[in-house]
Amino acid sequence: MKILVLWPPQVPSYFNAGHHLTVFNVASHLRTVFPSASVRAVDAAALNVTWKALGDLLTEQHDVVALANDFDSIDSLHRTVRYTRELAPKANIVTFGRLSSQLPEFFQRFDLDAVVGAGDPETGVEDFVRAVADEAHVSTSVWSRVAGRWRAPVAPPRLLAADELPLPDVTEIPYGAYEQMYADDTARFCGIPQRRELVVPVARGCPVGCDFCDIPGREGRTERRLSIDRLIEFIESATRKLDFEYVSMYAPTFTLRRAWSFDFCDAYERSAIGLPWKCTTTLHHLSDELVRRMGETGCVRISVGLETLESSGHAALPRAKHIEQERFRTTAEACGKAGIELNCFVILGLPGTSAEGVENTIRAVREVNGRVRPTIYTDFGRMSADMDEASIASFNRQLFQPDQCPPDAEHYYRVLFDPLAPITLVSEKIPRRTPE
């Protein structure tokens, strides 16, 4: 059996290499459960693949084409499906991803054979592939099109246990294209400019419970985390295969387990990796002592969901994100002493906040030499399956929905699309290892 796992071509609004790991994780999982299958993973969404190149790929006649989807990638799905139907007419097409995990019924308008909803995409795609390989197997965890009608799943795809979580094959990831996406830091994407990033999928699931986040509904509120030994082994293996210059620890809340975080720092320091690293967490899950230890072991950036320092906006946030000015300054000072850049996610248009409050939050971050990464408030709960594709595509954290556009939207857009925003200085802390 030949399987293609593909992120379709797209012009991205925002780019995060960690989100794109889903293509390579699904492929790794399928290789494990179907060892005799030929599985190829292609990320065509980093401005690195033409439609002609995609056509060349599809003429290889795969039995299954698994298409990744996201809130920001719906624009090109019709075209991708048409290319697949025209050039690989025998292929069975399934889609999986962040958008279908929240709104699987929306995809019934496309010429697809199956849709993976909430749950781990690996097990959903696996269930569909088993049905393609064996007519006696009936997919029960995905939406399936049978005789022209859509059949709902009996139960969502199984969530993998922590020790089952797949790790990607780094040799098939288009790192050169990713570097180009990160080259201009005024875009305020998550990567560090001019340095090659190894993204490591550390954990899934998050108990913090932000209403505007899709992770709890997709991955669960109980965290599943790799063991430290497996994490270190993967990083060491990856750095033997390719030259990387820093490591990105991909987890919703990296320091959620404080004891684990200290143990990781000790293990990372003992290892021969020696690369700077960064992570994402919350201010609530940091302490001065932990920040100091992270800095000692090479951490150069901590990203936090600050969202707002305006107290009137805290009602829209979980308790863990009710951060006061003094607590923010204390942690920022600890990061400064540890040589760590504090990268703050700030939400524009969060209910209860004002344009003045946003400016005060941004000013507070810049006063402590922090980096601001702004996004537009997006209520994914307002999406519905009967929306048109343009409306769904607007849930990309860069646009307000027409009926929720605040009177000061123009001000927020100026903040978000500011080509003169300060850029990061973290690149200077990361030695070059790859050729110029």
Q: pLDDT digits over 283-315, tens only?
A: 999 999 999 999 999 999 999 999 999 999 999
Residue 174 has pLDDT above 70, yes or no: yes
> Do the domain assignments include residue 371?
yes
Looking at 101, 133, 151, the residue that finishes a domain is 151
Answer yes or no: do 284 and 189 share one domain. Answer: yes
Answer yes or no: do 235 and 345 share one domain. Answer: yes
Answer yes or no: do 203 and 78 share one domain. Answer: no
Answer yes or no: do 188 and 329 share one domain. Answer: yes
Answer yes or no: do 198 and 110 share one domain. Answer: no
pLDDT of 434 reads 55
Contacts of 301 (CB under 8 A, 6+ apart): 192, 278, 279, 340, 341, 342, 343, 371, 424, 426
pLDDT tens-digit readout, 227-286: 999 999 999 999 999 999 999 999 999 999 999 999 999 999 999 999 999 999 999 999
Residue 435 has pLDDT above 60, yes or no: no
Domain count, the chain: 2
Answer yes or no: do 201 and 142 share one domain. Answer: no
Residue 377 has pLDDT above 70, yes or no: yes
d(CA 150, CA 139): 12
Answer yes or no: do 279 and 225 share one domain. Answer: yes
d(CA 121, CA 104): 12
pTM of the model: 0.96
Looking at 98, 132, 151, the residue that finishes a domain is 151
> Do the domain assignments include residue 271?
yes
Looking at 133, 151, 169, the residue that finishes a domain is 151
Q: Which CATH number belongs to the domain containing residue 145 in this structure?
A: 3.40.50.2300
- Number of C-beta neighbours around residue 434 at 10 A: 14
Domain range enclosing 31: 2-151
Answer yes or no: do 132 and 219 share one domain. Answer: no
Per-residue tokens: 286? 């940091």
Q: Worst-scoring range by mean pLDDT, 34-38, 83-87, 113-117, 420-424?
A: 420-424
Residue 109 has pLDDT above 80, yes or no: yes
Answer yes or no: do 329 and 209 share one domain. Answer: yes
Residue 206 has pLDDT above 60, yes or no: yes
The owner of tokens 């201010």 is 283
Contacts of 150 (CB under 8 A, 6+ apart): 108, 143, 144
Answer yes or no: do 112 and 249 share one domain. Answer: no
pLDDT of 68 reads 98
Residue 436 has pLDDT above 80, yes or no: no
> Do the domain assignments include residue 176?
no
Q: Which CATH number belongs to the domain containing residue 341 in this structure?
A: 3.20.20.70
Closest CA to 217 of 88, 397, 381: 381
Answer yes or no: do 146 and 195 share one domain. Answer: no
